[in-house]
Structure 1
Amino acid sequence: MTDIKDFTSQYGLVEKIDAFGYLDALKANPDAPRKHGKIVLVTADTPLMASRGEGKTTTTIALIDALNKRGIDAAAVLRQPSMGITAAGSKGGASGGGKASLTHPELIDWGLTGEMAAIAAAQNLLVSFAEKAIDEGRLDDILVPRVSEVPSRSLRAITVDAGKNNVAEKVVLTPTCELMQIVCLSRSMDEIGRRVAAMIAGTKDGKAVTFGEFIDLWRITDMLAGAVMPAKTETVNGSPVYVHGGPFANVSIGIPTLASVQMACSLHDVVIVEAGYGADAGAQKWLDIACREYGAQWPSAAIVVTRASTWRDDPELAWRYPFHVDRLEKLDIPTFPLVNLWDGEDDQIPALRDTAKELEFRDPIIGNLYRDGGEALAPQLDQFVDALVGGSMPAAPHSHKGMPLVENVRWIAEQAYGVPAERVVLKDGFASSLTEANELCMSAGVSLDDMAVVAVKSPATMTDNDRAGEDERTVTLKKVEVHAGAGLVHVNLTTSLTTPMPKIV
């Protein structure tokens, strides 16, 4: 059977879908009815402040409502937010707002679909196994951090008394951890098992030791049985929305799970995928990690969201929004600027349209989506719909597998941040960090250059100093961290923030 209802169960006020089982059923029945939905990427301008969202989720929800109003079968795939940051009020909610919101936003903002807790428990159990391995003489140190949904500076670096040795550990946010990345990138439980087995637990006599060498993997995969199932909810206007996978494209991959997106594409004609933070973070990682290295579908169109104040009120940073739009257009992705208005900004619409025309953008989409929802967008989508209907399915992009890591980062800096390769600077200590990462990978039997690069950076800046002149901007590389199970290598940039603290609200 390939009816999605056979793979769907009730989970409180939302539904959970066995996406792995459904995709396996489609694979086993190639003649079964299915759709081949086109992907639209919703990304954003680099925000003036990391703590203030530009409105990607609100736009995504309003957009599917508008498309469905026009008779187009559209759905959205959103990321499960981090409770410790989003729900604590450090940024906008991850379920839209006003007329562009979900029916049960509290279930999303407070992590009640269950995946975060299951992934946290599983990764923390892995660390406990690693601690036991130290007691048994299998490991000398631990390289996998514990995780928590609530950030704490006091837990960023801790020391555990392990008898003979004091073992250094750290705690990171759940959505940034390697196990979350594995869930996001895998398309079956077997793949998750293989990737968990390849996670580097620590080292023994300077050589990498993977979890597959000393634990029974069923203990972890059983814990993740519910976490791998996307949640299905809907907008207040009845449009379908799937929620699955972690946020934070500045310190992780920031994309929804590939299985949830693939499932949605088999069920709907248009699938809106939201990628985290600005286009320099979320869009870059969807294109260069999910698509180039993991076979996700290249977008048929893109929406770049901004606020009127972000776009126009800071001349030193005004270059960033046109850069994002132009970059995506140069990748042959029809890209539509969208200005998400605050209350009291309606009188700015004529001036915003004039500025967009001067910048040679496509006709901008402008509206107060909190107030008006999809009703504000539906009349403005003629060009957007024409681009979707008239465009063909894009080809698979060229992989960067095998490209030397530093060369790969220089390519990202030039393409995504506008900084040429010669102005990518290696900070003192980076070379030794790269050497250590290379040696770790060699001892684990994997190649560092075959891993996809995750740029770990500030969400509010694209370069070391975005206010510097175009010919003066640089990007500085700080350190390297290997996530062998996920097939990723993190490269920290100078301005990176790995565990942001929530503000008090």
Structure 2
Amino acid sequence: MDFTPRPIDAVAKELGLGPEDYELYGRGKAKLELSLLDRPARAKGRLVLVTAINPTPAGEGKTTTSISLAMGMRRLGKNAVLALREPSLGPVFGVKGGGTGGGKASLTPADDINLHFTGDIHAITTAHNLLSALADNTAYFGDVVADKGELDPRQISWGRALDMNDRFLRKCILGLGGKASGIPREERFDITAASEIMAIMALASNYKDLEERLSRIVIGQTYDGKTITAGDIQASSAMTAVLRDALKPNLVQTQEGGPAIVHCGPFGNIAHGCNSILATRLAMNLGDYAITEAGFGFDLGGEKFLDIKCRTAGIWPRAVVIVATLRALKMHGGAPIKTCGEPDVEHLKRGIEHLEKHLETAYAYGLKPIVAINVFPNDVAQELEMVEHSVASLGARLARSEGFSKGGEGAIELAKVVSEVVDATDAAPPEPKYAYELEDSAHDKIHKVARTVYGAKDVLFTAAAEKQLQRIRELGYGKLPVCMAKTQMSLTDDPAVHGRPRDFTITVREVRLSAGAGFLVALTGDVMTMPGLPKVPASRSIRLLPDGTIKGLMQND
């Protein structure tokens, strides 16, 4: 069955919204008014988290599965609302291609969402660099900041941002060209998805909260070692103005016309990897089932969704869907990418151990796990049954999904299983159960995440990380949650280690304070906050056709 995108007004009407509740951005997009959150919820708002095993080059299809699950539920007559992240241009032009699903399970208008959309990410980039410029300007003129003194240009810790993969900007020198051009110093660029402002946007509850969080951003220190914030240099009000429209979530639709709220896009490997609290709350207010996803594997985006986002928002999912493919499991079992699509019982058997670790983690959080097997046409029935048997032995449910090739029809089995599991929690919804408590020390928080979620034996802190943690404690921020920056490819901090490793150590090399976002970022291994482009970037396949159609934004396009 072919579907024609509906006018966005019709999608909004399905949610019970009137013209005063949204602002049109072209034909297929709209900004939702924040005042909607002041109204009583019109639906049951059962939250479903979609996550996955650790990514592999073979692919898992988490976003595709999230979209097809919502479409499958809609085909069953369920009131399901999606809440997803906005794609970053870095991956679009780099390795992954677009972030709007794939095949017959995608969002529309996909081209717009994958490119400039409604300008949210550009606004975040601008607000970030406005603060950078104001910080340098403060140091350049030697302004005395409040009663703290002058900002030391050598101790400015706030970098710059760009929504693009560009390894050459990880470390650079600025301020060259003589006195009129500034103060020469070393600088770093982060990709916008790793910006603290992206995290703040995703966690802010309203405009007042947004400005207060922005004002708490630490930008550097004075010559006497006193901390300077964005509020100290009177930057937060202008930054909030820049972000006015960007704080409003965006309404689009699935390929089958169902509602999807898309907002904010922090990466799950270097930030907390979830769409905004505002978008999730709107989905819960407007839908009986609010389906959302967390970036990369359960060990990264899933953990941060629960320990950071849910704790901040006061919400908790009814169930967690863990997406996997036979190919990816075989790669975790040691199979090479060239043969992972072929029958291979031995490698699959070893790879299932990786899936089992994520199921154990779900149980540690007190959640009901459901495994969604994203089925490929050449998957072998015997191997699918192997996975089903292993999952059942751990007390979890499993459903096959063919959303990529069949859309909502291919996800009806998954939709039935998810609705059964979720509906069964109505009498006694699961209570929040975090990996750590806020009163724990930062060291203990990191140890608990590493042991419970990764399966690590121990955590090693470098001398630099220890010094940074000491400074953070002295500033009074030691009780904040931790946001682990770790490779997404492995449960360890080494991307080459697949499967379910044991007796390994995680190394924390640096700890950054994100006072505005309200967490500490622990950087492990070689993870970077500014990715680089691959040897053959995805941008080489993107082209504009004479009729205005863009080809190559999505994988296999």
Same fold (TM > 0.5): yes
Within-5 A mapping of 1:54-69? 54-69=60-75
> By how many angstroms is 1:36 displaced?
3.2
Tell me how far 1:169 sits from its aligned partner.
Answer: 1.6
Q: CA 1:471 to 1:243, structure 2 compared with 1: closer, same or farther past 3 Å?
A: closer
> Is residue 270 from structure 1 mapped to residue 297 from structure 2 by the alignment?
no
Cα distance change, pair 224–475 in 1 and its aligned pair in 2 (3 A):
same
Counterpart in the other structure of 1:432: 467
Equivalence map 1:263-412=2 (5 Å): 263-292=282-311, 294-316=312-334, 318=351, 319-345=353-379, 348-359=380-391, 360-361=393-394, 362-392=396-426, 393-397=429-433, 400-412=437-449
Matches within 5 A, 1:66-465: 66-85=72-91, 87-137=92-142, 138-141=150-153, 142-161=156-175, 163=179, 165-205=183-223, 206-292=225-311, 294-316=312-334, 318=351, 319-345=353-379, 348-359=380-391, 360-361=393-394, 362-392=396-426, 393-397=429-433, 400-420=437-457, 423-439=458-474, 442=475, 447-465=476-494
Mapped to 2, the partners of 1:390 and 1:458 lie a distance apart of 35
Q: Is the 8 A contact 2:94 2:165 kept in 1?
A: no
Counterparts of 1:349 and 1:109 in 2: how far apart (Å)?
Answer: 36
Q: Does structure 2 retain, via aligned residues, the 8 Å contact 1:298–1:397?
A: no
Task: Give per-residue Cα distances to partners, 1:82-112, cap 9 Å, x unaligned.
Answer: 1121x21511521111111112111111132
SS at match of 2:175: strand
Deviation readout 1:120-143 (Å, 9 max, x if unpaired)? 011100100001100122311321
Moved more, 267-276 or 360-369: 360-369
Cα 1:349–1:448, aligned 2, differ >3 Å: closer, same or farther? Answer: farther
TM-score, reference length from structure 2: 0.82
C-alpha spacing 1:330/1:203, structure 2 compared with 1 (3 Å): closer
Question: Tell me, what secondary structure is at the counterpart of 1:222?
Answer: helix
Q: Which amino acid aligns with 1:218?
A: S
Assess if the C-alpha contact under 8 Å between 1:437 and 1:448 holds in 2. Answer: yes
Q: Which moved more, 1:162-171 or 1:120-129?
A: 162-171
Q: Which residue of 1 aligns with 2:31?
A: 17
TM-score (norm 1): 0.91
* Residues 175 and 380 of structure 1: CA distance in aligned 2, closer, same or farther (over 3 Å): closer
Contact 2:400/2:413 (CA < 8 Å) preserved in 1?
A: no
- Determine the C-alpha separation between the residues in 2 that align with 1:313 and 1:213: 51
Going from structure 1 to structure 2, the CA distance change for 1:263 and 1:314 (only over 3 Å counts) comes to closer
Report the AA paired with residue 353 of structure 1.
E
Unaligned runs of 5+ in 2: 1-14, 143-149, 335-349, 539-557
Alignment RMSD (CA, Å): 2.2
**Deviations 1:201-257 (Å, cap 9, x if unpaired)?**
211121111111122533111111111111111111111101001131100011000
Corresponding residue SS for 2:219:
strand
Shift of the alpha carbon at 1:352?
A: 1.4
Q: Matched residue of 1:492: which SS?
A: strand
Alpha-carbon offset, residue 468 of structure 1? 8.8
Q: Which moved more, 1:246-255 or 1:90-99?
A: 90-99
SS at match of 2:126: helix
* Percent identical: 27
Query: 1 CA distance for matches of 2:235 and 2:32?
Result: 24
Write the distance in 2 (CA, Å) between the matches of 1:201 and 1:470: 39
User: 1:377/1:114 Cα in 2 relative to 1: closer, same or farther (>3 Å)?
Assistant: same
The 8 Å contact of residues 93 and 109 in structure 1, kept in 2 or not, is answered as yes
Q: Measure, in 2, the Cα distance between the counterparts of 1:54 and 1:19.
A: 34
Which amino acid in the other structure matches residue 521 of structure 2?
H
Q: Secondary structure at the match of 1:256?
A: coil
Structure 2 residue identity aligned to 1:394: P
Residues 1:401 and 1:220: Cα distance change in structure 2 (over 3 Å): same
Unaligned runs of 5+ in 1: 27-31
Work out which of the residue numbers 14, 34, 49 in structure 2 matches 1:41. Answer: 49
Instruction: Indicate which of 507, 516, 522 corresponds to 1:485.
Output: 516
C-alpha contact (below 8 Å) 1:176/1:251 kept by paired residues: yes
CA contact (8 A) 1:81 1:111 kept: no
Q: Secondary structure at the match of 1:63?
A: helix
| Letter aligned with residue 42 of structure 1 | V
The amino acid across from 1:209 in the alignment is: I
Q: Using a 3 Å threshold, how does the CA distance of structure 1 residues 92 and 364 change in structure 2: closer, same or farther?
A: farther
How many Å apart are 1:397 and its aligned residue?
4.2
CA positional deviation for 1:148? 0.5
Offset at 1:400? 2.2
How far apart, in 2, do the equivalents of 1:349 and 1:176 lie? 41
1: CA distance, partners of 2:420 / 2:463: 51
Structure 1: distance between partners of 2:266 and 2:449: 20
CA change 1:284–1:8 in 2 (3 A) is same
1:295 and 1:396 in contact (8 A); partners too: no
State how many pairs are aligned.
484
Distance apart, 1:309 and its partner CA: 0.9
